Structures are given as structure tokens and as C-alpha cells.
Chains A and B, each alone.
Chain A
Amino acid sequence: GQNIDQPTEMTATEGAIVQINCTYQTSGFNGLFWYQQHAGEAPTFLSYNVLDGLEEKGRFSSFLSRSKGYSYLLLKELQMKDSASYLCAVRPNTGGFKTIFGAGTRLFVKA
């Protein structure tokens, strides 16, 4: 079957660094996405990884290890507005547009 696991909730302090992990088991692999979703709003795209390694984009970085079926999203210099759900999603190698989402990690940033 296809499965994506990520922690349900995390709490971190403003100004700190937090790492949100994601592990996946899918029918092949054709890319991994991270999305941010604030409560009551639409998910918005954060990052994409298809090759092993780290992709950095301002305060956010995403890492991928295909051999381990593992990714993480790293958020630096946390701000209160970073309180949101972070969704890990994988495109399996089944062709077409199918994307499998994890249940999301709810991040609470406290002062």
C-alpha cells in the first residue's frame, strides 16, 4: 500500500528552529512536496524535492533521502505566523497526476 507518516503535532518557540519529519512508502517515487495550510485556508506550496539533498528557500529548507524514504522540512527563525499545518505529499511513479498526502503536522509556535 501507499503510506505517508508525519507527526501529528509539534510545539516550538518563536525564534527557534524546528524540523518536521516525513517518511513514505509508495509505488515508486516521482517527487515530494511540502505544503503549508493555515487553519481555515487553502494549502500553499512550500517546496519540492526529487533528488537527494537539501533545497533551501529563505527560512525554509527541505531535505530528501530516496533510499530511506525520508524527508524533513526545516523552519528557521520561527515566527508566530508559522503556526499552521505542514503537509508532506508524494507523487508515486504510477504516471498521471496522482499525489498522496500525509495527514499533516500541526505546528504551534509559542512566544
Chain B
Amino acid sequence: ETGVTQTPRHLVMGMTNKKSLKCEQHLGHNAMYWYKQSAKKPLELMFVYNFKEQTENNSVPSRFSPECPNSSHLFLHLHTLQPEDSALYLCASSQSSSGSYNEQFFGPGTRLTVL
């Protein structure tokens, strides 16, 4: 139990569906992250929020839309996904950022399958 929870843990969706992934952290952190993890590939950073403001968008397609209403909650809205978007989506949080040492605490992930 890392203090970061994600729901749902598993999601199967069609290419025309709209769904949302949710992340919540109970660690008092101010930075939150979305990563994509595909088999045998490195973790890919998608988005970073610091104090609710987006600070990184790693050229992510617009069919992924993040939302950060407060420092404890992070959403990833999914729309018109492609089968190649099937992956494990991990949320993480860390202390705020200006220092270089910022270990990240990861949630258990959402295993997404796009049919």
C-alpha cells in the first residue's frame, strides 16, 4: 500500500467508448503524474501536474485528456482510443518539485484493453 490508489484496476473498452481513470493520493504531495507502461517498453511519462497546474505534456494524443481538480486527485479521460493504447496506466505522486530529489510513489495501475 503506497498511499496512491487507482480505479478501476481493469478496464475493457471499445474504440468509440468514453471512460475515465481515477487516481487519488493520501500522502500530502503536490505533484501527480500519469505514465503508460507497455510490455517490454520503458515507462512513458504522459502528463505531470504540480499544484493542479499541468507542467508536462509529453506529446500525448488528444484522445487522452487529463484533469487535476486538486492536489489529491488526478483523472485521465479517454475517448476514441486505438488498440495500441492498450497498456498499464500508472499514476504517481511526489513532493513538489523544485528539488531534484523527488521519489515517486506509484499506484497499482489500471490495466486497459481497447478492443
Q: Are A and B physically bound partners?
A: yes
Interface residues of A (CB under 8 A from B): 4, 8, 30-31, 33, 41-45, 48, 50, 87, 89, 91, 96-104
Contact indicator A96/B40 (Cβ below 8 Å): no
Q: Nearest-CB distance from B8 to chain A (Å)?
A: 15
- Cβ < 8 Å to A, chain B residues 1-47: 2, 4, 31, 33, 40-45
Count residues of chain B with CB under 8 A from any CB of chain A. 28
Q: Nearest-CB distance from A52 to chain B (Å)?
A: 15
A-chain residues with CB within 8 Å of residue B101 when the two chains form the complex: 31, 48, 50
Q: Nearest-CB distance from B42 to chain A (Å)?
A: 5
State whether the Cβ of B48 lies closer than 8 Å to any Cβ in chain A.
yes
B-chain residues with CB within 8 Å of residue A101 when the two chains form the complex: 42-45
Closest chain A residue to B48, Cβ basis: A97
Take A42-B109, A44-B2, A103-B42 as given contacts and tell me if A97 and B94 are in contact as well, using a CB distance cutoff of 8 Å.
Answer: yes
Q: Nearest-CB distance from A106 to chain B (Å)?
A: 9
Of residues B94, B106, B108, which shows the largest number of chain A Cβ atoms within 10 Å of its Cβ? B106
Contact indicator A42/B42 (Cβ below 8 Å): no
A-chain residues with CB within 8 Å of residue B97 when the two chains form the complex: 96-97
B-chain residues with CB within 8 Å of residue A87 when the two chains form the complex: 43
Q: Mark B84-109, 1 if CB is under 8 A from A, else 0.
A: 00000010001001001111111111
Contact indicator B105/A50 (Cβ below 8 Å): no
A-chain residues with CB within 8 Å of residue B31 when the two chains form the complex: 97
Contact indicator A48/B103 (Cβ below 8 Å): yes
A98 to B70 alpha-carbon distance, docked (Å): 20
Take A4-B42, A101-B43 as given contacts and tell me if A31 and B106 are in contact as well, using a CB distance cutoff of 8 Å.
Answer: no
A45 in complex: contacting residue of B41, B45, B103, B107, CB < 8 Å: B103
State whether the Cβ of B65 lies closer than 8 Å to any Cβ in chain A.
no
Of residues A45, A99, A100, which shows the largest number of chain B Cβ atoms within 10 Å of its Cβ? A99
State whether the Cβ of B50 lies closer than 8 Å to any Cβ in chain A.
yes
A-chain residues with CB within 8 Å of residue B90 when the two chains form the complex: 42-43
